[in-house]
């Protein structure tokens, strides 16, 4: 029988009370569980979550360091940093992007064919990011932007520091340039130091002294919101934002004199060639010129593809540093050194007279080596042989010495090896010897040294090649009668923060000692006669100088092309002309400057190269007015 249930209010009240009590206790327990979870999160795991929170809110922004300045020996700035202007666009502020880009084109701030690329670039970045769309604005463009600014929503003019070379192409090969870090630079890039820095020294001082110039990039944390957008920091933030100030790179004081450099380059203008001027008693390189030159500012701002191809495709090779890397037959400029070697090895005396009939043959050989003066120089002693640049005298001397002794003597003068100048890229040239020939050639018939090859080495031809820097260095060595220094372009490092200067002392190289030091004077006297003597080859170039010049002309036959050039038929004739050379130091009695000039395919050293050296001496040795 089914029991009929009726409502029992007292029972229901009891049931409710019991259930409410249970529910209340359960609620209390669960509230405690929530509190426990909060405790776990906020006490036990607090540090972990604090770190995550800091990572969340802070974005690290790089602060690039200022690159050190370059000054010349007189303190004139020759490379600095200046603000460069670029246009940046923030997509979300631009409104109608298409219209904005069209207006940029209309105002000639963008190329029409750039627009599609920029649109893609913008699409690949976040809407609130400022994307550079145009670098290195000219003043005209900046003005046009300023006028139309209100019509260009979301477009802003921003500045960044860019390398600037106020003297443009003057000295470009010595200074080098900076450019965007490329894949080839990655092995020498320490990511931490280059943080936020997109450029690196590519050549010359900029490259070799990168370590001093670079400085140390800094960073700062900026507050960002979840979208990555930068927001202002507020006081009382739980964790302070971290940062590290950038440390500026060191300034360098160069040994160059930018005004003398300019004079040298102007004297050589329109030619291909190189000039190196060294201060003998320090090794300071006062002029290091290679022409034609290029404007390093272009590299600093980034060359367009067309500009780059123009530079690399130029048959005159403006990017090729002839002073350091051009290897030329030294020609007659080595005759004083050959004479010195003859004296040193005792195979000849200054007074010994040699008959020059205008040609020279080895015993038992019918091959004739011709003198540049077909009728010959007649009887010549050492003095007049150097003064008149008699070839036969030195053919004979070289043969008498033999190639090994020539090689040994010239190695002591610095030929065949790099001078060790403090920028990279230097070539060593060739100081030939039988051993060298054996190593260099693979065919057995080419590995033998022939006596005839020794003969032409006597007048700086044949296998012998040297860089203009080596020539200047050897001339400086002669000027100081055996004392010499490693050539250098940087003489001091200055910390811009403290102003303290760290001088780099001149680096003496092992002195060249002669058996008889009087031999130096024999040679120097002969070189003075070159510019002053009755039949001196450089008399015209030295006429009227207020000081005495000890010099030697040279004319080098072009029998092989020293550097890899493009074959160009129209220029072959010009390119087969002789190179003109001149080496000199002055004043002869107290030398202050040693100069080497090479003019490619210039013809005669006396008429083309010597005047360049004269212009340099005149400027450098003239009494200073100020």
Partner 1 sequence: MYEELAISRTRRTMTATARLLRVLHLDGTLMLALAAVIAFGLFVLYSAAGDNQSLWLSQLARIGIGGAVLVALAQVPDRFLRLVAPAVWLIGLALLVAVAVIGDVGKGAQRWLDLGIVRFQPSELMKLAVPMMCAWYLHTRPLPPSAGNIGAVLALVLVPAVLIAAQPDLGTALLVTAAGLLVLLLGGIQARFIVGGFTLGGAAVPLLWLVMHDYQRQRVLTLLDPHSDPLGAGYHIIQSQIAIGSGGVFGKGWTNGSQAQLEFLPERSTDFIFAVVGEELGLLGVLALLCGYGLVIGRSLVMAVQCRDTFARLLGGSLALTFFIYVLVNAGMVMGLLPVVGVPLPLVSYGGTAMVTLLAGFGILMSLHSRRQLMGSR
**3 scored as a contact of partner 1 (CB under 8 A):** no
Rg of the chain (C-alpha set): 37
In the complex, what is the shortest distance from the CB of residue 46 to partner 1, in angstroms, rounded to a whole number? Answer: 5
x/- string (CB under 8 A) for partner 1, residues 575-614? ----------------------------------------
Closer by beta carbon to partner 1, 31 or else 590: 31
**6 scored as a contact of partner 1 (CB under 8 A):** yes
**135 scored as a contact of partner 1 (CB under 8 A):** no
Cα–Cα distance for residue pair 66/485, rounded to 1 Å: 32
In the complex, what is the shortest distance from the CB of residue 262 to partner 1, in angstroms, rounded to a whole number? Answer: 56
Cα–Cα distance for residue pair 167/70, rounded to 1 Å: 12
Instruction: State the catalytic residue, choosing from 290, 332, 433, 606.
Output: 332
Q: How many CB atoms lie within 10 A of CB 120?
A: 9
**28 scored as a contact of partner 1 (CB under 8 A):** yes
Query: Which residues, listed in sequence order, are joined to residue 272 by a DSSP beta bridge?
Result: none
**1 scored as a contact of partner 1 (CB under 8 A):** no
For partner 1, the binding residue among 31, 99, 186, 622 (CB under 8 A) is 31
For partner 1, the binding residue among 43, 146, 192, 572 (CB under 8 A) is 43
Closer by beta carbon to partner 1, 24 or else 83: 24
In the complex, what is the shortest distance from the CB of residue 291 to partner 1, in angstroms, rounded to a whole number? Answer: 59
| Furthest CA-CA distance within the chain | 159
User: In sequence order, what are the residues at sequence separation of 6 or more whose Cβ sits closer than 8 angstroms to the Cβ of residue 37?
Assistant: none
E strand or H helix at 382: helix 382-388
Site for partner 1 in 179-238 (CB under 8 A): 223-227, 231, 234, 236-238
E strand or H helix at 6: none
In the complex, what is the shortest distance from the CB of residue 226 to partner 1, in angstroms, rounded to a whole number? Answer: 4
In the complex, what is the shortest distance from the CB of residue 51 to partner 1, in angstroms, rounded to a whole number? Answer: 8
CA 238: distance to chain centroid? 49
Do 596 and 603 meet the contact criterion of CB atoms below 8 Å apart?
Answer: no
What DSSP state is assigned to residue 585? E
Do 262 and 170 meet the contact criterion of CB atoms below 8 Å apart?
Answer: yes
Strand segments (E) across 268-367: 273-279, 284-291, 354-356, 359-361
Closer by beta carbon to partner 1, 28 or else 99: 28
Closer by beta carbon to partner 1, 8 or else 151: 8
Site for partner 1 in 230-249 (CB under 8 A): 231, 234, 236-239
Closer by beta carbon to partner 1, 48 or else 123: 48
Q: How many CB atoms lie within 10 A of CB 303?
A: 17
In the complex, what is the shortest distance from the CB of residue 130 to partner 1, in angstroms, rounded to a whole number? Answer: 20
Name the nearest CA neighbour of 553 among 288, 265, 316, 330: 330
In the complex, what is the shortest distance from the CB of residue 5 to partner 1, in angstroms, rounded to a whole number? Answer: 4
Q: What 3 state SS string does 104-135 have?
A: HHHCCCCCHHHHHHHHHHHHCCCCCCEEEEEC
Cα–Cα distance for residue pair 119/122, rounded to 1 Å: 5
Q: How many CB atoms lie within 10 A of CB 452?
A: 16
In the complex, what is the shortest distance from the CB of residue 39 to partner 1, in angstroms, rounded to a whole number? Answer: 6
332 is catalytic: yes
Q: Is the dihedral of CA 603, 331, 376, 368 positive or negative?
A: negative
Closer by beta carbon to partner 1, 31 or else 561: 31
CA–CA distance from 127 to each of 49, 83, 88, 502, 543 (Å)?
Answer: 30, 26, 13, 49, 72
In the complex, what is the shortest distance from the CB of residue 308 to partner 1, in angstroms, rounded to a whole number? Answer: 42
**60 scored as a contact of partner 1 (CB under 8 A):** no
**38 scored as a contact of partner 1 (CB under 8 A):** yes
Q: Which stretch binds partner 1 (CB under 8 A): 3-11, 297-305, 482-490, 501-509?
A: 3-11
Closer by beta carbon to partner 1, 160 or else 230: 230
CA atoms within 13 Å, Cβ hemisphere of 431: 20
**309 scored as a contact of partner 1 (CB under 8 A):** no
- Cα-based angle 560, 565, 569 (whole degrees, multiple of 5): 85
The burial of 210, by beta-carbon neighbours within 10 Å (0-12 exposed, 13-18 middle, 19 or more buried), is given as buried
Q: Which stretch binds partner 1 (CB under 8 A): 29-37, 468-476, 543-551, 613-621?
A: 29-37
Name the nearest CA neighbour of 506 among 322, 177, 279, 309: 279
**128 scored as a contact of partner 1 (CB under 8 A):** no
Kindly give the pairing relationship between strand 130-134 and strand 273-279.
unpaired
Do 79 and 256 meet the contact criterion of CB atoms below 8 Å apart?
Answer: no
**27 scored as a contact of partner 1 (CB under 8 A):** yes
E strand or H helix at 1: none
Do 137 and 87 meet the contact criterion of CB atoms below 8 Å apart?
Answer: yes
Q: Which stretch binds partner 1 (CB under 8 A): 11-19, 102-110, 491-499, 517-525?
A: 11-19
Cα–Cα distance for residue pair 144/511, rounded to 1 Å: 63
Closer by beta carbon to partner 1, 229 or else 575: 229
Closer by beta carbon to partner 1, 21 or else 74: 21
In the complex, what is the shortest distance from the CB of residue 18 to partner 1, in angstroms, rounded to a whole number? Answer: 8
Closer by beta carbon to partner 1, 59 or else 405: 59
CA 155: distance to chain centroid? 36
Kindly state the number of chain residues that form the binding site for partner 1, as judged by CB under 8 A.
48
In the complex, what is the shortest distance from the CB of residue 242 to partner 1, in angstroms, rounded to a whole number? Answer: 14
Q: Which stretch binds partner 1 (CB under 8 A): 44-52, 157-165, 212-220, 458-466?
A: 44-52
Cα–Cα distance for residue pair 488/479, rounded to 1 Å: 17
Closer by beta carbon to partner 1, 21 or else 186: 21
For partner 1, the binding residue among 1, 9, 569, 573 (CB under 8 A) is 9
Catalytically active residues are 332
Q: Provide the binding-site residues for partner 1, judged by CB under 8 A.
A: 5-9, 11-13, 15-17, 19-20, 23-24, 27-28, 30-31, 33-35, 37-39, 41-43, 45-46, 48-50, 52-53, 56-57, 223-227, 231, 234, 236-239
């Amino acid at each position: 029988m089914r029991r009929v249930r009726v409502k029992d209010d007292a029972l229901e009240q009891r049931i409710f009370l019991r259930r409410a009590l249970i529910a209340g206790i359960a609620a209390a327990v669960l509230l405690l569980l929530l509190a426990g979870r909060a405790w776990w999160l906020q006490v036990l795991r607090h540090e972990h979550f604090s770190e995550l929170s800091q990572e969340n809110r802070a974005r690290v922004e790089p602060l690039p360091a200022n690159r050190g300045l370059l000054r010349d020996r007189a303190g004139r700035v020759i490379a600095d940093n200046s603000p460069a202007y670029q246009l940046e666009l923030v997509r979300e502020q631009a409104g109608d992007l298409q219209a904005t880009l069209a207006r940029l084109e209309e105002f000639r701030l963008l190329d029409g064919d750039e627009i599609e690329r920029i649109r893609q670039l913008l699409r690949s970045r976040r809407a609130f990011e400022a994307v550079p769309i145009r670098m290195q604005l000219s003043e005209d463009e900046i003005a046009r932007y300023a006028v139309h600014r209100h019509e260009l929503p979301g477009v802003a003019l921003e500045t960044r520091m860019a390398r600037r070379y106020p003297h443009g192409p003057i000295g470009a090969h010595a200074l080098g340039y900076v450019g965007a870090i490329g894949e080839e630079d990655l092995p020498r890039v320490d990511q931490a130091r280059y943080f936020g820095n997109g450029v690196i020294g590519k050549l010359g001082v900029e490259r070799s002294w990168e370590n001093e110039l670079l400085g140390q990039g800094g960073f700062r944390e900026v507050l960002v919101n979840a979208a990555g957008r930068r927001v202002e920091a507020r006081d009382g933030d739980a964790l302070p934002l971290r940062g590290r100030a950038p440390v500026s790179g060191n300034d360098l004081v160069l040994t160059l004199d930018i005004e003398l450099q300019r004079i040298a380059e102007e004297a050589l203008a329109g030619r291909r060639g190189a000039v190196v001027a060294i201060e003998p008693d320090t090794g300071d390189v006062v002029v290091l010129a290679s022409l034609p030159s290029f404007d390093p500012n272009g590299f600093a701002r980034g060359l367009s593809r067309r500009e780059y191809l123009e530079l690399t495709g130029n048959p005159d090779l403006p990017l090729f540093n002839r002073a350091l890397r051009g290897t030329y037959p030294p020609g007659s400029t080595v005759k004083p050194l050959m004479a010195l070697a003859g004296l040193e090895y005792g195979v000849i005396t200054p007074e010994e007279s040699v008959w020059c009939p205008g040609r020279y043959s080895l015993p038992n050989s019918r091959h004739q080596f011709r003198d540049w003066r077909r009728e010959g120089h007649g009887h010549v002693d050492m003095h007049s042989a150097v003064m008149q640049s008699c070839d036969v005298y030195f053919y004979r001397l070289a043969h008498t010495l033999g190639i090994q002794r020539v090689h040994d003597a010239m190695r002591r003068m610095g030929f065949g090896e790099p001078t060790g100048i403090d920028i990279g890229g230097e070539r060593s040239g060739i100081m030939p010897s039988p051993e060298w020939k054996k190593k260099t050639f693979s065919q057995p018939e080419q590995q033998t040294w022939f006596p005839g090859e020794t003969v032409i080495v006597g007048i700086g031809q044949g296998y012998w090649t040297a860089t203009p820097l080596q020539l200047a260095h050897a001339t400086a060595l002669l000027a100081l009668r055996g004392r010499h220094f490693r050539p250098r372009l940087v003489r001091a490092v200055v910390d811009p923060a403290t102003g303290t200067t760290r001088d780099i002392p001149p680096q003496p190289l092992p002195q060249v000692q002669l058996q008889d030091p009087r031999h130096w004077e024999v040679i120097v006297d002969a070189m003075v006669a070159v510019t002053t003597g009755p039949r001196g080859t450089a008399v015209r170039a030295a006429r009227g100088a207020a000081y005495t010049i000890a010099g030697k002309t040279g004319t080098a036959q072009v029998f092989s092309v020293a550097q890899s050039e493009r074959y160009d038929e129209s220029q072959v004739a010009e390119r087969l002309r002789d190179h003109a050379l001149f080496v000199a130091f002055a004043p002869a009695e107290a030398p202050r400057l040693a100069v080497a000039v090479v003019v490619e395919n210039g013809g005669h050293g006396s008429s083309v190269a010597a005047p360049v050296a004269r212009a340099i001496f005149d400027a450098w040795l003239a009494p200073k007015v100020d």
